Amino acid sequence: MYANPAADDLIAQLYPTSQHSMASFPAPLSEALSLASSGGELCAQTVLEIGQRYYAIQSHWIAEHKTYDLHVRDITQRHRAEQALVHQAYHHPVTSIGNRSYLEKTANQWIAQQQTFNAVMIDVTDFKLLSENFGLADALACVYSVGYFLQSSVQQYASVNSESDDVCLFHVADACFMVLVKTQGPAHRLASLLNMLRTKLADSIDTPIGAMRFHVTFGVSDYPVHSVDYNTLLLHTNIAVEIALKNNQAVHYFNADDGAYHQRRLTITRRLEQALEHDELTLYYQPKQQLSDGKVQSCECLLRWIDNGEFISPGEFIPIAERSGLILVLGEWVLDSAFNQARAWYEEGRQVQIAINISARQFLQPGFAESIARRLREYDIPASLIELELTETSIMDNHQLASAVLVELRALGVSLSIDDFGTGYSSLAYLSAFPVDKVKIDRSFVSQMVDAPKQQAIVLTICQLAHNLGLKVIAEGVETDVQRELLHQYGCDYLQGYLFARPVPASEAVTLFN
C-alpha cells in the first residue's frame, strides 16, 4: 500500500498507534471498496466521521493492477457549515425549536408513512397586549420564554412516556407554536399531553421582564379524519384556534361544522367584495323618538344586504368585513350614502339628524376627521345633521388618539355618541373628559330591565350619570310599553326600537318624520 506524504500525515493523526492504519478504516469505507472492486461502481464515494472530523473519500478500482486508488479530503469545515445551514433552515433563529419548514417536512413524512396523528396549534393570546404594554422586543422575549418552557415540558412528557419520536414541538410564528402527536399508541395520549401543558402554563413563567402568567389557546385537528394534506391540516388547526378565541374556549377540536363555517366566511367575503363593486348594498333608517314630546327628528342608518334573494345579517357580514379588511371600504360607502341621504332630506326642507356607526378601525385611521370635514363641504349640509356613533372599545383601545380625534370632530360641529354603553370597560374619568353628546344604553340591559332589578338599577344609573355629565341618553331595543314607561320614569331622552319603528328604507322613514 502506498500513501503520499499528506496521506501519511493524515493517517498518523487519525491512528497514531497503528502502523497500518488504512486497514482499520471503518466499515463504510470497506463496503465502498468492495463495491468498486466487484464492478458495481468504478468510482465509489463516501463520507466518514472519525472522531469529531469528517472526510470525503473517493475510491477508484484499477482492475488491471488490482489496486485501489483512494483520495481523502478533510471536509470538516464544509460539513459543519452545511449542517449549520440545514439547522438554520429548519429551526427558529432564537429558540432553536423546529420552525414551519421543519413542521411541514415532519408532517409530510408522517403522512407518507400513513401515520395517524393530531396537530395542536398553541397561540400565545397575550402577544398583542404584551406588544402594546412593553414593546415588540420585550413581547417577543416573553414568547421565547414560553417557547423554552413548552420545549422543556414536551421533552419531559416524551421522556416519561418513552415517546420521544411521537411528540414534536415547532415554533411556527412569532406567538404561535405547533405540536404533532402520533395517535398510534395510548388513546389518552393527546388528552394527557394537553392537560399537562395547560396545568404547567397555569403557573407563572420566568421571562426577561419578570415572572408572568400567559393566556394560551389550543386548536386541535386530526389527520386523516379532518385533513387530507399538510396545508389543510395547518388551516384546520388555525380555524380551531380562531373559534376557541371567538367562544372564549381554552381548547377547541376542529369538526365538520367548523369547516362549513370557514367556507361560509370565504363565500361571504367574495360576495361582499362583489356587492361593494356593483353597489348592491343599501341603507335602512330606524327613527329615534324623543320621549319628551314624541317627535322624530333623528334616525340611525343601518346597513342592509340582500344577495340573490338572501338576506345576509349585518351581524354576520360586518365581523367578516372587519377580519378581511373590507371594513374600511364598507365604512367609506356607508359615510357617502348617509351624507347623500342627509343632503336629499335637507333639500326637501327636513332637518333630520342621521346617526352613522363608525368601526374602531375606521375611527382610528389617519385623517378620519378630515374625511368628515371634506364630506361636509362636498355635500354642503350643516354638521348638526350628522351624528357619529362610536363603541366604547373603539375609544378605549387607544384613548389618547381617540381623544384627539374626538376633539377634531367636535370642532366640526357633528354630534358624537357612545354606542352600547355599559358593555365595555370605559373609565368614568375618560367619559367625563371625552367631548361626546350622547350615550346609548345597550339593548341587552333594556331587554332584561322589566324582570331584573339589577338591570333596572344599571339603566337608572346610566341615565343619572349621563345627565349629571350633561349628556343625552338613548335607549335601543325598546319593544314593549312597560320598557317605555320605565325609561320615561328614568328620564331617558330618546327611544329606538320595534315598539316605535323598525328599520325601513328612506322612502318609508319620511312618513315617520312627518
* 447 found inside a domain: yes
The span from the CA of 278 to the CA of 215, in Å, is 43
- Of 80, 104, 133, the residue at which a domain comes to its end is 80
With cell 478533510, the residue in question is: 74
What is each CA distance from 214 to 2, 168, 217, 222, 433, in whole angstroms? Answer: 67, 22, 10, 26, 33
The span from the CA of 180 to the CA of 59, in Å, is 43
Do residues 170 and 298 both lie within one domain?
no
Do residues 73 and 102 both lie within one domain?
no
Amino acid at position 512, single letter: L
CB 268 within 8 A of CB 317: yes
* 19 found inside a domain: yes
Burial class (CB in 10 A: 0-12, 13-18, 19+), 197: buried
Beta bridge partners of 123: 176, 217
The phi and psi torsions of 411 (rounded to 5 degrees) equal -65, -25
The confidence score (pLDDT) of residue 21 equals 47
Do residues 239 and 287 both lie within one domain?
no
* 505 found inside a domain: yes
The span from the CA of 119 to the CA of 241, in Å, is 12
Residue ranges for the chain with pLDDT beneath 50: 20-23, 40
Do residues 61 and 188 both lie within one domain?
no
* 151 found inside a domain: yes
* 86 found inside a domain: no
The verdict on whether omega for the bond into residue 503 sits within 30 degrees of 0, i.e. cis, is no
What is each CA distance from 455 to 223, 375, 446, 459, in whole angstroms? Answer: 48, 40, 8, 6
The span from the CA of 278 to the CA of 374, in Å, is 24
Burial class (CB in 10 A: 0-12, 13-18, 19+), 358: buried
* 263 found inside a domain: no
Do residues 106 and 189 both lie within one domain?
yes
* 85 found inside a domain: no
Beta strands 472-476 and 494-496 are: parallel
CATH number at residue 474: 3.20.20.450
Taking phi over 0 as left and psi of -120 to 50 as alpha, with beta for the rest, 40 belongs to alpha
The confidence score (pLDDT) of residue 273 equals 94
The confidence score (pLDDT) of residue 6 equals 67
CATH number at residue 111: 3.30.70.270
Do residues 231 and 357 both lie within one domain?
no
Name the residue range of residue 489's domain.
Answer: 272-513
Which ranges of 281-398 does DSSP label H, i.e. alpha helix? 314-324, 327-347, 360-363, 368-379, 392-396
Do residues 50 and 107 both lie within one domain?
no
The span from the CA of 6 to the CA of 145, in Å, is 50
CB 471 within 8 A of CB 464: no
CB 120 within 8 A of CB 220: yes
Do residues 63 and 96 both lie within one domain?
no
Do residues 166 and 31 both lie within one domain?
no
The confidence score (pLDDT) of residue 514 equals 65
The span from the CA of 156 to the CA of 164, in Å, is 9
The span from the CA of 351 to the CA of 119, in Å, is 60
With cell 394537553, the residue in question is: 194
- Of 254, 289, 308, the residue at which a domain comes to its end is 254
- Of 17, 49, 80, the residue at which a domain comes to its end is 80
Do residues 437 and 289 both lie within one domain?
yes
Q: Taking the CB of residue 310, how many other CB atoms lie within 10 A of it?
A: 8
What is the number of structural domains in the chain?
3
The span from the CA of 407 to the CA of 442, in Å, is 25
The span from the CA of 255 to the CA of 241, in Å, is 12
Do residues 25 and 163 both lie within one domain?
no
Q: What is the grid cell recorded at 109?
A: 413524512
Taking phi over 0 as left and psi of -120 to 50 as alpha, with beta for the rest, 251 belongs to beta
The phi and psi torsions of 297 (rounded to 5 degrees) equal -125, 10
Q: What is the dihedral of CA 271, 275, 280, 286, to 10 degrees?
A: 80
* 261 found inside a domain: no
Do residues 145 and 121 both lie within one domain?
yes
H-helix or E-strand containing 190?
helix 189-201
